[in-house]
Amino acid sequence: MQKLPINWLTEGIIDFEYKKYLLLAYLQSVKSEFGQQRLYPVFSDLIMHYRNLLQVKEHKKLVYESFPQRITRADFEKLELVYEKIVADDETMQQIEEIIQFAAPLFVNAVDEGKELYNFIEKHLEINPVGITPMYFNEGYLFLDAFPGKETQVYAYRITVFENTYEKYRGINTQHVRTVRRGLAQTHENLKIQLAKENRELPNPATFVVVAKVPCPLENALLPIAKRSLVKYVAQLAA
């Protein structure tokens, strides 16, 4: 996948045709990834660029929270200083505004395409508990069955709840435990029993299976979407 620099709007030559070339090459790469059902990390990267573009358009300001973890606070402060100088330059700012006007609708189309792909895959996921679900389900196992195939990817998961005055957020961490080939003697239920015997701290672990009904890459689509689906499913159980 072709990367678009974090500070693509402000670094290098501030020229409409040059920035247009950079953007179109990046969006062509995004489209290629989506065509292969590869949603991550490209979708997150795309949304980050779009949000920052909106911030610049609406406030002529860069917002640190819009950037991914790979940019440090020190790096951001340097970028902000460069941007402040650009804002003060009317001719350069006019170039940037032309670039933004060109880029914004293209980003909207690309983000919408990503959302459509995400919703399509999510719609074709089936999630169910395995066995009896205990009262505590913020920790346990996630079974993931890709399509097609007879293998189950086993992950240990832990859901963390963050709260502030207004909202409650849930994050999920997963760790791959093993890959198991399913068969008559190796069902999801039997696999759960084996895991409970191996981990005495969770005698009846909360266990959920997510089954994909359409083919999609494990790491670049199925696992990230399955994790988010599990978080929503558990939130409904907790409600």
Structure confidence at residue 72 (pLDDT): 73
Residue 166, C-beta contacts closer than 8 angstroms, at least 6 positions apart: none
Structure confidence at residue 63 (pLDDT): 58
Structure confidence at residue 215 (pLDDT): 94
Structure confidence at residue 56 (pLDDT): 78
pTM over 0.75: yes
Q: Which of 239, 182, 214 is nearest to 39 (CA)?
A: 214
pLDDT in tens, the chain (239 residues): 788 988 888 777 888 899 999 999 999 999 999 999 999 999 999 999 998 888 777 766 665 665 655 677 777 777 777 767 666 666 777 888 889 999 999 999 999 999 999 999 999 999 999 998 888 889 999 999 999 888 999 999 999 877 665 566 788 999 999 999 988 888 999 999 999 999 888 888 999 999 999 999 999 999 999 999 999 999 888 77
HSE-up (13 A, CA, CB side) for residue 89:
12
- Angle at alpha carbon of residue 180, lines to 178 and 185, rounded to 5°: 140
Question: What is the full DSSP assignment across 128-193?
Answer: EE-S---S--SEEEEEEE-SS-SEEEEEEEEEEEEE-SS-EEEEEEEEEEEEEE--SS--HHHHHH
- Angle at alpha carbon of residue 23, lines to 37 and 107, rounded to 5°: 60
Q: Helix crossing, 90-123 with 223-238: angle to 10°?
A: 70
